[in-house]
A and B are shown apart, each in its own frame.
Chain A
Amino acid sequence: MDTGFAAVAIFFAAIFTNNILLTNYLGMCSFLSVSREIKTSLGLGAAVIFVMASTSFLNYIVYHFVLIPLGLEALRFIVFIIVIAAFVQLVEMVIERVSETLYAALGIFLPLITVNCAILGVSLFMVIREYGMLQSFMYGLGSGIGWFLAIMAMAGIRQRLKKAQVPKGLEGAGITLVITGMMALAFMGFSGMISV
């Protein structure tokens, strides 16, 4: 397959057939806690798209031009986390400058992107599946958009749930996990369409 075409296929596969959240269940912690409000979800979702696409690209460069020549592939976990953390720090500084409201709304969750497992997961999948540079970038971008779609749908549902009468014991994380399960069931319909 032509690499350009493969990159596009990977992009769509990462959104639908292999949605990082709904098929790999990565990035659940911030998904569960932030999806309460649509506006904050929008902010965090956008930040995740940006960070995922950028870090998968950066990590590709670091892995292939630094770690492999030095024979230090074993260190990739630590190195990837450092790259992600540094990059998130940068984003945080930019957001603080540009939009005070978004910064306040995201609050603690912005630094938490660092430990959002989906972001490290994307970088690791990129290595395991031996993607090229363009493919890695598209995979990161697609996964970010997939995560964004999932959290926006969940935020919409939880907005509506405010009028529902969820049993006491299921309120909060409980019902959110039930809904996530149903969403994952719905996304099973995409399976087999495109493969990563």
Chain B
Amino acid sequence: MKLLKQPVIMKQAPMNAVLYALLPLVAASVYFFGWRALAVLGVVNAVGFLSEYIFARVYGKKVSMAVFVTNFLFALSLPPTIPLWIAGVGIAFGIVFGKMVFGGFSKNIFNPAISGRAFIYASFGYHLSSRFVQPAQGLLGGLGRWSPGLDSLTAATPLIQLKEGVDISFLELLLGNVSGSMGETSALLIIITGVWLMFRKTASHHIVLPGLAGFLVFQSLFWLTGIDGVPAPHYALVSGSVLFGMMYMATDPVTAAQTTNIGRWIYGAFIGILTSLIRTFSIWPEGITFAILTANMFAPLLNYIITEIKKSRRSRKGADA
């Protein structure tokens, strides 16, 4: 019984801040899509914790608080009708292959939530992209129901509707009263919580702002050149999960470019631009998942190049003096 008394979880204050910031999004997902959202969160948290715990035991480490952030982010990025077992498979893959094989927290190359999400996105395309539903209507919203009505099952999230030229109210998009993944529909809540995180310096605005700027510039460019199915930039910003990904996933300090602010700017802008490119030209409706994964892949090289440039500058200065 001695084992149980030892603390299993490593405390990490910044991670708590992210969790607090995510609570409004959890509440919103329950309000829009019913109590089933909590069931998804529960399964994801249980499987995610267990995956990390097994590895942490072998490594002789504690489970990091970060695993709960990963769990929450992952769960909130799923469609509301996601089968629970797919959610479990995704988070297990994300934690094990995205994080634990590298030695655990702070050693990982790829963001575990994004890895898991990309894995099931590529493997179970139907469940991840064709089973969105309209949010529950009425004042009580989803508070009075278990799951959203399956009769409104559709693949057409605002992203796809905008592509087809359907009119959607900007206000609805901003508030989040639209179909989409559980936690990403309400742009307003994400902006408020995201700004709070940036204000607390938990999330780096050196990544978020260039990222959003890059996204908007390219989106405007495509819009102005009149490419088919490109919505106006302010619509593009509040639909899909670009805000959610930028604020919460791209800013993950472990997997982002982390040496200098210049590195962060390049990293953020790269994600924004790539998201816009993937959205506009590839077969996927949303690009932020793959954009972050690709940016994660080049981040260590970017760090290395920036440090080398700094080094050579310093040595040149030293030679002048």
Chain A residues within 8 Å of B, Cβ to Cβ: 38, 152-153, 155-157, 159-161, 163-167, 170, 175, 178-179, 181-183, 185-194
A38 to B86, CA, bound (A): 38
Q: How far is the CB of A183 from chain B (nearest CB, A)?
A: 5
Name the contact of A190 in the complex, choosing from B58, B278, B298, B304 (C-beta under 8 A). B278
A193 to B291, CA, bound (A): 14
Q: How many residues of B contact A (CB 8 A)?
A: 37
- 16 examples of A-B residue contacts, CB within 8 angstroms: A156-B299, A156-B301, A160-B109, A161-B102, A161-B109, A164-B103, A165-B102, A178-B101, A181-B97, A182-B293, A182-B297, A185-B293, A189-B294, A190-B278, A190-B290, A192-B282
Q: Which of B98, B102, B287, B303 is packed against the most chain A CB atoms within 10 Å?
A: B102
Q: How far is the CB of B115 from chain A (nearest CB, A)?
A: 6
Question: Hey, which chain A residues are within 8 Å of B300, CB to CB?
Answer: 153, 156-157, 159-160
Q: Is B146 an interface residue (CB 8 A)?
A: no
A2 to B122, CA, bound (A): 34
Chain B residues within 8 Å of A, Cβ to Cβ: 58-59, 97-98, 101-104, 107, 109-110, 115, 118-119, 122, 274, 277-278, 281-284, 287, 289-291, 293-294, 296-304
Q: Known contacts A160-B300, A182-B293, A183-B297: does B282 contact A189 (CB below 8 Å)?
A: yes
CB <8 Å contact, A164 and B304 = no
CB <8 Å contact, A170 and B101 = yes
CB <8 Å contact, A185 and B296 = no
Question: Hey, which chain B residues are within 8 Å of A159, CB to CB?
Answer: 300, 304
CB <8 Å contact, B297 and A186 = yes
Chain A residue at smallest Cβ distance from B304: A156
Chain A residue at smallest Cβ distance from B118: A185
CB <8 Å contact, A192 and B284 = yes
Q: How far is the CB of B306 from chain A (nearest CB, A)?
A: 11
CB <8 Å contact, A155 and B301 = yes
CB <8 Å contact, A186 and B103 = no
CB <8 Å contact, A189 and B101 = no
Q: How far is the CB of A28 from chain B (nearest CB, A)?
A: 17
CB <8 Å contact, A157 and B297 = yes
Chain A residue at smallest Cβ distance from B103: A165
Q: How far is the CB of A176 from chain B (nearest CB, A)?
A: 11
Name the contact of B278 in the complex, choosing from A153, A155, A189 (C-beta under 8 A). A189
Question: Hey, which chain A residues are within 8 Å of B102, CB to CB?
Answer: 161, 164-166, 175
Chain A residue at smallest Cβ distance from B58: A167
A56 to B102, CA, bound (A): 38
Q: How far is the CB of A182 from chain B (nearest CB, A)?
A: 5
CB <8 Å contact, B115 and A191 = no
- Nearest 4 A/B pairs, CB to CB: A189-B290, A156-B301, A192-B283, A165-B103
Q: Known contacts A160-B109, A189-B291, A189-B293: does B304 contact A166 (CB below 8 Å)?
A: no
CB <8 Å contact, B284 and A156 = no
Chain B residue at smallest Cβ distance from A194: B281
Q: Known contacts A159-B304, A182-B297, A186-B296: does B115 contact A166 (CB below 8 Å)?
A: no
Name the contact of B301 in the complex, choosing from A152, A163, A164, A179 (C-beta under 8 A). A152
A189 to B103, CA, bound (A): 27
Q: How far is the CB of A32 from chain B (nearest CB, A)?
A: 16
CB <8 Å contact, A165 and B104 = yes
Chain A residue at smallest Cβ distance from B109: A157
Question: Hey, which chain A residues are within 8 Å of B274, CB to CB?
Answer: 189
Q: How far is the CB of B286 from chain A (nearest CB, A)?
A: 10
CB <8 Å contact, A190 and B59 = no
CB <8 Å contact, B298 and A191 = no
Q: How far is the CB of A194 from chain B (nearest CB, A)?
A: 8
CB <8 Å contact, A156 and B119 = no
CB <8 Å contact, A189 and B297 = no
Q: How far is the CB of B127 from chain A (nearest CB, A)?
A: 17
Q: Which of A155, A156, A159, A179 is packed against the most chain B CB atoms within 10 Å?
A: A156
Q: Which of A152, A179, A182 is packed against the most chain B CB atoms within 10 Å?
A: A182
A179 to B278, CA, bound (A): 22
Chain B residue at smallest Cβ distance from A164: B107
CB <8 Å contact, B122 and A185 = yes
Name the contact of B282 in the complex, choosing from A163, A185, A186, A190 (C-beta under 8 A). A190
A165 to B108, CA, bound (A): 10
